[in-house]
């Protein structure tokens, strides 16, 4: 059953009157970006104070570092937003809660957005941030020898592609956290038909994929479609979170199954009654706080060795 908090959450974000921005994609994108920022406080709640919250330059990629203690393992976080919007600000509260409750440092990556910067710009930024924290982390008071990655939605896609590329480069990551990741550029799963209309639908996801990867042939590359990878063995142990009323639900489950088939340790948790985007909305969803704490516990278990 759809939780009443879903309807309440959908009412928070400002949407233009029907037809006002029709036929003007640039104006629609500008509105979506600003509306997400404007609703951030109401959706995500107050900021948890931490000893370290600092904006850093990771070899040209703007990032934000959160830490509750020195010598902490590092969790690199990649925000969602259809590769077209979102920022370190829109996941700030989630990153703070994870850092406080896990004991890990969190490095949130403010990667370049489409359509101004199409694939592979965002992936390059994530990889640059990973290389930078490996090199500079000890000087920042964190322990980059214990390194995990994660992200939500589009950020989940970027995170797991980066993790696979790290595996292939013989610099594997220790853990990954994927929150309703965008996995299938074909938007073919049944959940698109079963649960559309709860804040995300097939048309919106098709537009996001097309904007992020304009050349259709590139969408079949393993650097875009995680399930196009012929062998997933050796990927990091994974926590994968899906939502019952999310059109990305089934492709996330398919990816969890593919990882399991490759003998990758996976915990797949489906949060019932909630929709896409719930996890960062700590002020609106009880499930968001539970998910953040589950992520924190899993990171602490995976990285404090």
In a domain, 143, yes or no: yes
Q: Does any domain span residue 41?
A: no
Domain that holds residue 96: 4-9+49-303
Set 152, 184, 246, 250: catalytic member: 246
Cα dihedral 125, 148, 177, 4 in deg (nearest 10):
-80
In the chain, how many domains are there?
Answer: 1
Give yes or no for a contact between 287 and 273, defined as CB atoms under 8 angstroms apart: yes
**Domain-located, residue 75:** yes
- What CATH number does residue 220 fall under? 3.40.50.1820
Catalytic option among 3, 79, 119, 276: 276
What is the pLDDT averaged over residues 103-111?
98
| Cα-based torsion angle of the residue sequence 166, 128, 253, 91 in order, rounded to the nearest 10 degrees | 150
Identify the pLDDT of residue 24. Answer: 83
Tell me if 19 is assigned to some domain: no
* Rounded-to-integer distance, Cα 140 and Cα 66, Å: 11
pLDDT band at 22 (very low <50, low <70, confident <90, very high): low
9, 87, 102, 153: the catalytic one is 153
**81 domain residue, yes or no:** yes
Question: Is 204 a domain residue?
Answer: yes
Domain membership of residue 34 (yes or no) is no
* pLDDT of 66 higher than 60: yes
Summary mean pLDDT of the chain: 96
What residues pair up with 271 in beta bridges, in sequence order? 243
- 231 catalytic residue (yes or no): no
Domain contains 94:
yes
Q: Is the pTM of this model over 0.75?
A: yes
Note the pLDDT tens digit of each residue in 220-261.
999 999 999 999 999 999 999 999 999 999 999 999 999 999
Q: Is 3 known to be catalytic?
A: no
246 as an active site residue: the answer is yes
pLDDT at 20 over 60: no
């Amino acid at each position: 059953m759809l939780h009443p908090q879903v309807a309440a959450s959908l009412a928070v974000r400002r949407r233009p009157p029907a037809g006002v921005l029709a036929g003007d994609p640039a104006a629609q994108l500008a509105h979506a970006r600003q509306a997400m920022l404007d609703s951030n406080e109401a959706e995500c709640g107050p900021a948890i104070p931490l000893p370290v919250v600092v904006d850093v330059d990771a070899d040209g990629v703007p990032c934000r570092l959160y830490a509750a203690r020195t010598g902490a393992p590092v969790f690199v976080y990649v925000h969602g937003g259809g590769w077209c919007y979102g920022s370190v600000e829109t996941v700030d509260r989630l990153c703070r809660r994870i850092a406080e409750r896990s004991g890990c440092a969190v490095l949130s990556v403010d990667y370049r957005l489409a359509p101004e910067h199409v694939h592979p710009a965002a992936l390059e930024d994530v990889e640059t941030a990973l290389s930078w924290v490996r090199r500079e982390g000890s000087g920042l008071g964190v322990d980059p020898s214990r390194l995990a990655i994660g992200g939500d939605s589009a950020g989940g896609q970027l995170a797991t592609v980066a993790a696979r590329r790290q595996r292939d480069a013989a610099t594997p990551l220790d853990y990954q956290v994927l929150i309703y990741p965008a996995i299938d550029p074909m938007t073919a799963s049944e959940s698109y038909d079963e649960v559309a209309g709860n804040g995300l639908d097939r048309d919106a996801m098709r537009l996001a994929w097309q904007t992020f990867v304009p050349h259709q042939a590139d969408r079949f590359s393993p650097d875009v479609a995680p399930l196009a990878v012929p062998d997933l063995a050796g990927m990091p142990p994974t926590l994968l979170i899906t939502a019952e009323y999310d059109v990305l639900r089934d492709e996330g489950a398919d990816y969890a199954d593919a990882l399991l088939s490759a003998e990758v340790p996976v915990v797949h948790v489906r949060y019932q009654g909630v929709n896409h985007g719930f996890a960062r909305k700590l002020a609106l969803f009880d499930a968001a706080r539970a998910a953040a704490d589950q992520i924190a516990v899993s990171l602490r278990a995976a990285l404090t060795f």
